[in-house]
Amino acid sequence: MAKTLLSPSPAIDEPLELDPGQDPFAPQSIQYLVSRYGSPLFIIDAERVRRQYRRLAAALPGVDLHYALKPLPHSAVINTLRAEGAFFDLATNGEVELVRRLKVPAERCIHTHPIKRDSDIRTALAYGVDRFVIDNPDELRKFVKYRNRSSLLIRVSFSSPEARCDLSRKFGCEPEVVPGLFKLAADLRIKIDGLSFHVGSQAAGPAMFAEAIARCTDLMRVAAQLGHAPGILDIGGGFPVDYLQRSMPIEEFCAPIRAALKELPSTMRVIAEPGRYISAPAAISVASVMGRALRGGRWWYYLDEGLYGSYSGQVYDHATYPVEALVPAGKTYPSVLAGPTCDSIDVINEHLELPKLDVGDLVIGRQMGAYSWASASEFNFFPRATVLALDGGRRLTDGSGR
């Protein structure tokens, strides 16, 4: 692989922020970075992005990993993965615009939103992204006029009620209607390249993956009888990470998936769309105490980050992040961490035991790279956290100051 061709130009003009071997998530690094950049801070570590990508790639040999931008659509993550040889999964015009700005080759991208406006299709096609996802006849018909320059995957729904975010309720068709869609596509002379599914985010176990792969293997056979030559199976995202609760190690998680994939014809290209697994461990949130009050026997600490900011994932993603205060160990008290806004829902955790904190003390949230900063708002005009991306001690920027 000609790595240098894929790599963006290195940010050689950026001075070293930390020693190259220093972990940016270590307490001394965090203290130093806050002294330089202030709080709240959202720190992305490119080395951890790389580590996650390589670990998943090793657990799924032969599977082309398309990073789903949605959980952390940041240039540092995209540039780092692109240098690793990754592919990308886009769903919106904003995401197309981001990869365009970073000059990611369109051939490395697919567009996977099952419901699109004509203008969304045209925006993706204009950049050269020509593989899309559909899950119903009306969406299929939208491609009649683009049939000479696009190809499609049919998204099938296999729901895992135990996944933290079940994505099969809103999108995907029942396996039973797939042959009908293949037939309609043949009548409309639209090319169907294969099938896709998403078992749900933060999947509890690999069983649904294996079941969905087996079911898709059967559906591909039916498609071949209907005159199609589907060559792609897209097994989606959903690969889990550790939060307060540990998840299965990814090697173990992927073993039954690898076994199920062995039943596919060897010519089949298999792709996956990991989001959370790549980005979640690669970023931390750093907040500081703005003020405190003793209420009902508990210390309430008001931070400059909360549920309307980087901790938004506690609402939308149903996540509970490991949090810790960057202070010396000592006697602890029942404590509450609250966000800065005037809304009473804006409480991060009410049941903590923490040493007594002072104004300015730092609170770290870990495993916060996915569905956190990405869904933060500026409610009450508290600005979103400053994002700082580091790679080997050096700050990564994309040339536009971001």
Q: How far apart are CA 301 and CA 347, in angstroms?
A: 10
Could you say which of 24, 40, 71, 206 contacts ligand PLP (CB under 6 A)?
Answer: 71
The beta-strand segments (E) located in 168-215 are: 192-196
Residue 199 CB, nearest approach to ligand PLP (Å): 9
Where does this chain touch ligand PLP (CB under 6 A) — which range of 80-88, 205-213, 267-275, 358-366? 267-275
Q: Which of 194, 206, 230, 274 binds ligand PLP (CB under 6 A)?
A: 274
Quote the CA–CA distance of 213 and 195 in Å, as a whole number: 10
User: Judged by CB under 6 A, which of 74, 116, 276, 394 binds ligand PLP?
Assistant: 276
**Does residue 67 belong to the site contacting ligand PLP (CB under 6 A)?**
no
Which residues, 139 to 178, sit near ligand PLP by CB under 6 A? none
- Of 194 and 274, CB closest to ligand PLP: 274
> Is there binding between residue 111 and ligand PLP (CB under 6 A)?
no
Q: Which of 189, 227, 236 is nearest to 208 (CA)?
A: 236
CA 388 to chain centre: 18
Burial (0-12, 13-18, 19+ Cβ within 10 Å), 383: exposed
Tokens standing for residue 89: 């999964």
Q: What CA–CA distance (Å, rounded) separates 167 from 135?
A: 13
Q: Give the β-pairing of 131-134 and 87-90.
A: unpaired
70 near ligand PLP, judged by CB under 6 A:
yes
| 120-123 long-range Cβ contacts below 8 angstroms, 24+ apart | 120/92, 120/93, 121/146, 121/150, 123/93, 123/96
Smallest distance from ligand PLP to CB 345, Å: 25
Binding mask 77-96 for ligand PLP (x = CB under 6 A): ------------x-------
Does residue 198 interact with ligand PLP by CB under 6 A?
yes
173 given a catalytic annotation: no
**Dihedral sign (CA 185, 186, 189, 193):** positive
Q: Shortest gap between Cβ of 70 and ligand PLP (angstroms)?
A: 5
Number of residues that bind ligand PLP (CB under 6 A): 16
Minimum Å distance from CB 370 to ligand PLP?
6
Cα(20)–Cα(393) distance, integer angstroms: 5
How many Å apart are CA 369 and CA 395, to the nearest integer? 17
Taking CB under 6 A as the binding criterion, the range among 46-54, 173-181, 237-245, 389-397 that sits at the site for ligand PLP is 237-245
Q: Which is nearer to ligand PLP, 201 or 372 (CB)?
A: 201
User: Least distance to ligand PLP from the beta carbon of 275, Å?
Assistant: 3
Of 56, 94, 91, 92, nearest to 75 by C-alpha is 94
Nearest-approach distance from CB 149 to ligand PLP, in angstroms = 22
- Catalytic annotation, residues: 342
Q: Which residues of the shown chain bind ligand PLP in the complex (CB under 6 A)?
A: 68, 70-71, 89, 112, 198, 201, 236-239, 273-277
